[in-house]
Structure 1
Amino acid sequence: MLPSPSSTRATPGHLHTHKWRGRIGLSLVASLSVLAGMTDAIGFMASGDFVSFMSGNTTRLAVAISDGDLGLTLRLVILVATFVAGNALGIVVSRLGGRRALPLLLCIATLLCGAAAWPYETQLPALLAAIIAMGMLNAAVEEVNGLPVGLTYVTGALSRFGRGLGRWMLGERRNGWRVQLIPWAGMFAGAVIGALLEHHLGLKALFVSGLLAGVLGLLSLKIPRRWQLGYMPR
């Protein structure tokens, strides 16, 4: 028996909850994107390698292969593979932590602080720890109210925004495309902050990234459990 229209109509309370779940989720996305941008800028300026922007590292890998630079090729293969491993590890930690943000973000904070404390003379282990952390970060939020979001990369966000803009120009009035600028803006702002920090602290600026990850983890305790289940990957 099909439900009546009145039984399927959203109630004011449901709409209010939906709106606040979206606002809180997007605030979390913005904050985590700041963390990603900050960490990527610090890692890039300190080492010349991207920490979260694997599109850039992939292009660099292709150029290294064409130049016959075996040392750089091997280094970039390791970086890209490490990022993939970090994403996989993020899902594992998320599931083991009951799909709560706190355990995941505390692991990320530990990795970033460990990277900051690593001796500067042997930089690669610190870089790999930061890359694992950024891979794991993608398990913190995957969607908000059904809208896909990315945290450590913004090409997809800009593409979704641009396609939404094109549909709007054609008269279509779909929702959600404007919010794709939130992760982009967060990552941009974070990269500016990270660049300023790296100028003064070098790779040890990752301590600030680790502290931010820990603070965001603690703040996530204020987010209702059922909302977190909706944000994180299944």
Structure 2
Amino acid sequence: MTGYSRSLIGLAIALAGLAGYVDALGFIVLSGQFVSFMSGNMTQMSVSISEGLWSVARVPAAVIVLFLIGIALGTVITHVTERFSIRARKVAVLSVVTTLLVVGSVFSSFDITPGAVTAMALAMGVVNSVFQRDGEVTIGVTYMTGALVKMGQRLTGAFLGGPRWAWLQHFGMCAGLIAGAILGALMHRWIGVHALWPAAVVAAGLIEVAWLVSPSPSAR
């Protein structure tokens, strides 16, 4: 997260919250599978394969493939819009994320679970392209293991005389995902299949936020 303004870090935390929200919905709908946490899906797929449960392994395997396609789509979007401003690239990526979540919400509202899960997994892959520098993802907004490791390192560094508050950025990412996941689970309890619509609305709002907080070419 080095080199990013506080406003952009705030956007990253908001996107982590969105990812947590959507992942919680996916976890509930798929009875224990994820739409953004691919490490968990890889573990579950591997355990199922080791036990010969091929039909069970197909579900996480399919979601992993969809997530990869989303990553590819996000990368293509950033490549195609490379000649435009950085804020335009972020807006383009988030516009696709929003569109996918709207499509997923429509499928979900009609109880078309495969369509909803497909759109959700694709959106979670695409959203990781919001923060890129020189073709590489610099802030992964759907996976927090790296952020947790860095938070632990920065906390230890603070005790050893390093920067006192450097860990807060990484804590914010983890807290954002946790808060989003809790809210997602509660919303599913309250409004059921319609719980994906608020995620689409939030994603649409973050398009405006991305436009406002990405003013300079250095803020990729």
TM-score (structure 1 length as normaliser): 0.81
| 1:106-125 C-alpha deviation (Å, 9 max, x unpaired) | 11111111111115554122
Stretch of structure 1 that moved more, 114-123 or 180-189: 114-123
* 1:220 equivalenced with 2:210 (yes/no): yes
Take 1:199 and 1:75, find their aligned partners in 2: how far apart are those partners? 23
Corresponding position of 1:77: 61
- Does the 8 A contact of 2:17 with 2:181 survive in 1? yes
SS in 2 for 1:68: coil
Take 2:44 and 2:153, find their aligned partners in 1: how far apart are those partners? 28
| 1:114-166 C-alpha deviation (Å, 9 max, x unpaired) | 111115554122101101101111111247xxxx4321011110011112223
Corresponding position of 2:154: 164
Q: Which amino acid letter does the alignment assign opposite residue 171 of structure 1?
A: G
SS in 2 for 1:226: coil
* 1:209 equivalenced with 2:199 (yes/no): yes
| CA positional deviation for 1:202 | 2.2
SS in 2 for 1:230: coil
Take 1:166 and 1:27, find their aligned partners in 2: how far apart are those partners? 24
* Cα distance change, pair 198–88 in 1 and its aligned pair in 2 (3 A): same
Take 2:132 and 2:15, find their aligned partners in 1: how far apart are those partners? 12
* 1:114 equivalenced with 2:103 (yes/no): yes
Corresponding position of 1:41: 24
Instruction: Summarize the alignment of residues 135-214 of structure 1 with structure 2, pairs less than 5 Å apart.
Output: 135-142=125-132, 148-173=138-163, 176-214=166-204
Take 1:34 and 1:81, find their aligned partners in 2: how far apart are those partners? 23
Greater Rg by CA: 1
In angstroms, what is the RMSD of aligned CA positions? Answer: 2.4
Corresponding position of 1:128: 118
* Total equivalences in the alignment: 209
- Does the 8 A contact of 1:36 with 1:152 survive in 2? yes
Structure 2 residues not aligned, in runs of 5+: none
Structure 1 residues not aligned, in runs of 5+: 1-17
Match of 2:92 among 91, 103, 120: 103
Match of 1:87 among 60, 68, 71: 71
* Cα distance change, pair 121–71 in 1 and its aligned pair in 2 (3 A): farther
Identity of aligned residues (%): 32
| 1:43-80 C-alpha deviation (Å, 9 max, x unpaired) | 11122221111111111101110121111212221111
Take 2:214 and 2:147, find their aligned partners in 1: how far apart are those partners? 26
